[in-house]
Amino acid sequence: MNPSALLSKQQSSITIALVGEYACIPGLSYSRSQVISGYETINTTDLFWISPDDNWSCGGWWYWNQFGATAAIEAINQNPYLLPNTTIKIKRFNQYASWNPVQWTVNYESGGVAMVTAMEIQSRHPDVVAVIGGLYSTTTARAAKFIHP
């Protein structure tokens, strides 16, 4: 592959937000709801809920879906023929207040924390051009109506 072709990928960028239940992953740091560090060093053996042996909890489906999205974006960024002259950046946002199953029930049904996250993305991250997630359709639908009325 031509090294100058990959360098041209840095000419412009677009940013995509991945929204999900990052609060259940130990070791992440946040600025408001945005994950700012720790994602690159996740030890999946610490995440009991991502295993098919645990009947693939909702968190497991979410984790592997966003993992796949990340892999696809990395592949696009490495290919100078896909989106030439453009790099896709990822920002990750937590849609839950904490790793607390009782709180999850309230949050996903009410959409409250998801709405706060949507408001943060809209007001503080104008570079975000697309939002992928959250885990539940009820929270995603409410957030989508706010971001794109």
Which tokens hold the place of 96?
Answer: 């839950």
> pLDDT tens digits, the chain, 149 residues: what are they?
555 655 677 789 999 999 887 877 778 888 888 999 998 888 776 665 555 555 555 556 677 788 899 999 999 999 999 999 999 999 999 876 554 444 444 444 455 677 778 888 889 999 999 888 766 666 666 666 666 65
Q: What is the pLDDT of residue 116?
A: 79
Question: How do the domains of the chain map onto residue ranges?
Answer: 23-147
Q: What is the pLDDT of residue 49?
A: 56
For residue 99, what are the contacts with CB-CB under 8 A and spacing of at least 6? 23, 24
Among 18, 22, 30, smallest CA distance to 99 is for 22
Q: DSSP letters along 84-98, please?
A: TTEEEEEEEEE-SSS
Q: What is the pLDDT of residue 64?
A: 77
Q: What is the pLDDT of residue 71?
A: 95
Q: What is the pLDDT of residue 69?
A: 92
CA atoms within 13 A on the CB side of 59: 19
Amino acid symbol at 78: Q
Which tokens hold the place of 8?
Answer: 């041209």
CB contact at 8 A, 125 and 93 = no
Q: What is the pLDDT of residue 125?
A: 93
Q: What is the pLDDT of residue 104?
A: 45
Q: What is the pLDDT of residue 103?
A: 47
